[in-house]
Amino acid sequence: MPTDINPQEFAGLFETFVHSAWRLEVRGRYASDEDDPAYGQWLRGETPQWDLTTPYARTIRHQIGGGARVERARILDTPPTTGQLYLLAHGQKNELLGEDVRCLSRSSAHRLNLPNADFWIFDDRQVALLHFDDEDCLLGATVIEEPDGVGRYRRAGALARRHAIPYRAYAIPRRVCADPGRPRGL
Protein backbone atom coordinates (compact mmCIF):
# COMPACT_ATOMS: atom_id res chain seq x y z
CA MET A 1 0.00 0.00 0.00
CA PRO A 2 1.51 3.38 -0.96
CA THR A 3 2.29 5.67 1.96
CA ASP A 4 2.31 9.48 1.86
CA ILE A 5 5.17 11.14 3.73
CA ASN A 6 6.13 14.75 4.44
CA PRO A 7 9.39 16.42 3.28
CA GLN A 8 11.19 15.63 6.55
CA GLU A 9 10.28 11.94 6.33
CA PHE A 10 11.36 11.96 2.70
CA ALA A 11 14.76 13.42 3.66
CA GLY A 12 15.15 10.52 6.09
CA LEU A 13 15.08 8.03 3.20
CA PHE A 14 18.58 9.17 2.22
CA GLU A 15 19.90 7.97 5.56
CA THR A 16 18.45 4.48 5.26
CA PHE A 17 19.25 3.28 1.74
CA VAL A 18 22.15 0.85 1.50
CA HIS A 19 23.19 0.24 -2.12
CA SER A 20 21.70 2.77 -4.51
CA ALA A 21 19.56 5.85 -4.97
CA TRP A 22 18.49 6.96 -8.44
CA ARG A 23 16.38 9.98 -9.44
CA LEU A 24 14.47 11.20 -12.46
CA GLU A 25 14.08 15.02 -12.52
CA VAL A 26 11.44 16.30 -14.92
CA ARG A 27 10.52 19.78 -13.70
CA GLY A 28 11.59 23.04 -15.29
CA ARG A 29 12.16 24.65 -11.91
CA TYR A 30 12.63 23.77 -8.24
CA ALA A 31 11.83 26.57 -5.81
CA SER A 32 14.32 25.23 -3.26
CA ASP A 33 17.19 25.90 -5.70
CA GLU A 34 16.40 29.60 -5.65
CA ASP A 35 16.88 29.75 -1.87
CA ASP A 36 20.50 28.58 -2.21
CA PRO A 37 23.09 31.40 -2.21
CA ALA A 38 24.85 29.56 -5.08
CA TYR A 39 21.77 30.20 -7.25
CA GLY A 40 22.14 33.97 -6.81
CA GLN A 41 25.85 33.74 -7.56
CA TRP A 42 25.13 31.74 -10.72
CA LEU A 43 22.35 34.11 -11.76
CA ARG A 44 24.77 37.05 -11.51
CA GLY A 45 27.26 35.16 -13.72
CA GLU A 46 29.61 34.40 -10.83
CA THR A 47 31.16 31.01 -10.13
CA PRO A 48 28.90 29.32 -7.55
CA GLN A 49 30.46 28.46 -4.21
CA TRP A 50 28.92 25.06 -3.49
CA ASP A 51 28.10 24.34 0.15
CA LEU A 52 29.25 20.76 0.75
CA THR A 53 28.19 20.89 4.41
CA THR A 54 24.39 20.88 3.99
CA PRO A 55 22.55 17.95 5.59
CA TYR A 56 21.92 16.45 2.13
CA ALA A 57 25.58 16.85 1.12
CA ARG A 58 26.86 15.28 4.34
CA THR A 59 24.43 12.37 4.05
CA ILE A 60 25.22 11.66 0.40
CA ARG A 61 28.98 11.86 0.95
CA HIS A 62 28.61 9.43 3.86
CA GLN A 63 26.48 7.01 1.82
CA ILE A 64 28.82 7.11 -1.20
CA GLY A 65 31.84 6.79 1.10
CA GLY A 66 30.23 3.59 2.41
CA GLY A 67 29.99 2.14 -1.11
CA ALA A 68 26.50 3.23 -2.21
CA ARG A 69 25.75 4.71 -5.66
CA VAL A 70 23.75 7.90 -6.17
CA GLU A 71 22.68 8.73 -9.72
CA ARG A 72 20.17 10.96 -11.44
CA ALA A 73 18.88 11.84 -14.89
CA ARG A 74 17.65 15.35 -15.62
CA ILE A 75 15.10 15.98 -18.35
CA LEU A 76 15.81 19.24 -20.19
CA ASP A 77 13.46 21.26 -22.36
CA THR A 78 14.50 22.72 -25.71
CA PRO A 79 15.35 25.44 -25.04
CA PRO A 80 16.07 24.77 -21.36
CA THR A 81 14.51 26.87 -18.63
CA THR A 82 16.61 28.99 -16.31
CA GLY A 83 16.01 26.40 -13.59
CA GLN A 84 17.27 23.63 -15.85
CA LEU A 85 20.36 25.63 -16.82
CA TYR A 86 21.06 26.09 -13.13
CA LEU A 87 20.73 22.34 -12.63
CA LEU A 88 23.37 21.80 -15.32
CA ALA A 89 25.71 24.07 -13.33
CA HIS A 90 24.62 22.37 -10.09
CA GLY A 91 25.78 19.08 -11.59
CA GLN A 92 29.25 20.14 -10.47
CA LYS A 93 28.14 20.07 -6.83
CA ASN A 94 26.43 16.72 -7.33
CA GLU A 95 29.63 15.41 -8.91
CA LEU A 96 31.73 16.72 -5.99
CA LEU A 97 29.48 14.70 -3.69
CA GLY A 98 30.15 11.60 -5.80
CA GLU A 99 26.88 11.46 -7.74
CA ASP A 100 26.61 10.47 -11.39
CA VAL A 101 24.47 13.10 -13.16
CA ARG A 102 23.13 12.59 -16.67
CA CYS A 103 20.74 14.49 -18.95
CA LEU A 104 18.12 13.67 -21.52
CA SER A 105 16.03 15.90 -23.75
CA ARG A 106 12.32 16.15 -23.05
CA SER A 107 11.59 14.92 -26.60
CA SER A 108 13.67 11.79 -25.91
CA ALA A 109 11.87 11.29 -22.59
CA HIS A 110 8.50 11.48 -24.40
CA ARG A 111 9.70 9.08 -27.09
CA LEU A 112 10.82 6.64 -24.38
CA ASN A 113 7.48 7.09 -22.58
CA LEU A 114 9.18 8.03 -19.31
CA PRO A 115 6.95 9.15 -16.44
CA ASN A 116 6.36 12.89 -16.27
CA ALA A 117 6.97 12.93 -12.54
CA ASP A 118 9.99 13.27 -10.29
CA PHE A 119 10.89 10.15 -8.35
CA TRP A 120 13.70 8.45 -6.48
CA ILE A 121 14.34 4.70 -6.45
CA PHE A 122 16.08 3.45 -3.30
CA ASP A 123 17.87 0.09 -3.35
CA ASP A 124 15.68 -1.04 -6.28
CA ARG A 125 12.93 -1.85 -3.76
CA GLN A 126 11.37 1.47 -2.80
CA VAL A 127 10.12 4.39 -4.92
CA ALA A 128 9.46 7.90 -3.59
CA LEU A 129 7.15 9.68 -6.04
CA LEU A 130 7.63 13.40 -5.32
CA HIS A 131 4.77 15.90 -5.07
CA PHE A 132 5.13 19.64 -5.72
CA ASP A 133 2.75 22.58 -5.42
CA ASP A 134 2.04 25.18 -8.12
CA GLU A 135 5.02 27.23 -6.88
CA ASP A 136 7.42 24.27 -7.42
CA CYS A 137 7.87 23.62 -3.67
CA LEU A 138 8.20 20.04 -2.48
CA LEU A 139 5.08 18.98 -0.57
CA GLY A 140 6.12 15.42 0.20
CA ALA A 141 6.19 12.04 -1.46
CA THR A 142 4.29 8.84 -1.91
CA VAL A 143 6.39 5.79 -1.05
CA ILE A 144 5.72 2.70 -3.15
CA GLU A 145 7.12 -0.67 -2.08
CA GLU A 146 4.78 -3.02 -3.94
CA PRO A 147 6.93 -5.02 -6.41
CA ASP A 148 4.86 -4.31 -9.54
CA GLY A 149 4.80 -0.56 -8.83
CA VAL A 150 8.52 -0.47 -8.08
CA GLY A 151 9.19 -2.54 -11.20
CA ARG A 152 7.45 0.02 -13.41
CA TYR A 153 9.71 2.81 -12.12
CA ARG A 154 12.80 0.58 -12.29
CA ARG A 155 12.10 -0.08 -15.99
CA ALA A 156 11.70 3.66 -16.61
CA GLY A 157 14.95 4.30 -14.75
CA ALA A 158 16.78 1.69 -16.81
CA LEU A 159 15.56 3.33 -20.04
CA ALA A 160 16.62 6.77 -18.88
CA ARG A 161 20.06 5.48 -17.81
CA ARG A 162 20.58 3.84 -21.18
CA HIS A 163 19.74 7.00 -23.17
CA ALA A 164 20.94 9.85 -20.93
CA ILE A 165 24.40 11.34 -21.37
CA PRO A 166 26.78 12.81 -18.77
CA TYR A 167 25.71 16.34 -17.82
CA ARG A 168 29.10 17.78 -18.84
CA ALA A 169 28.56 16.47 -22.39
CA TYR A 170 25.07 17.94 -22.75
CA ALA A 171 25.47 20.76 -25.28
CA ILE A 172 23.46 23.92 -24.61
CA PRO A 173 23.89 26.66 -27.19
CA ARG A 174 25.00 29.95 -25.67
CA ARG A 175 22.24 32.55 -25.37
CA VAL A 176 19.46 29.98 -25.83
CA CYS A 177 16.92 29.67 -23.05
CA ALA A 178 13.16 29.54 -22.61
CA ASP A 179 13.38 32.18 -19.87
CA PRO A 180 14.43 35.73 -20.74
CA GLY A 181 17.06 37.24 -18.50
CA ARG A 182 19.00 34.07 -17.81
CA PRO A 183 22.73 34.43 -17.23
CA ARG A 184 24.89 34.67 -20.32
CA GLY A 185 28.08 32.82 -20.99
CA LEU A 186 26.94 29.29 -20.14
How far, in Å, CA of 138 to CA of 132, rounded?
4
Domain range for 68 = 3-89+106-145+152-164
- The tens digit of pLDDT for each residue in 69-82 reads 999 999 999 999 99
Mean pLDDT, the chain, whole residue set? 92
The answer to whether residue 178 is domain-embedded is: no
pLDDT score for 172: 63
Q: Which amino acid is at 86?
A: Y
CATH number of 20's domain: 3.30.870
Q: Has residue 127 been placed in a domain?
A: yes
If one counts the domains in the chain, the total is 1
Residue 110, judged by CB atoms within 10 A of its CB (0-12, 13-18, 19+), counts as exposed
Q: Give average pLDDT by consecutive 10-residue segment, the chain, 186 residues.
A: 96 97 98 96 96 97 98 96 95 97 97 97 98 97 98 98 94 48 42
In-domain check, residue 97: no
Examine residue 180 and state whether it is found in any structural domain, yes or no.
no
pTM comes to 0.90
135 within some domain: yes
The verdict on residue 68 lying in a domain is: yes
Farthest CA pair distance, the chain? 48
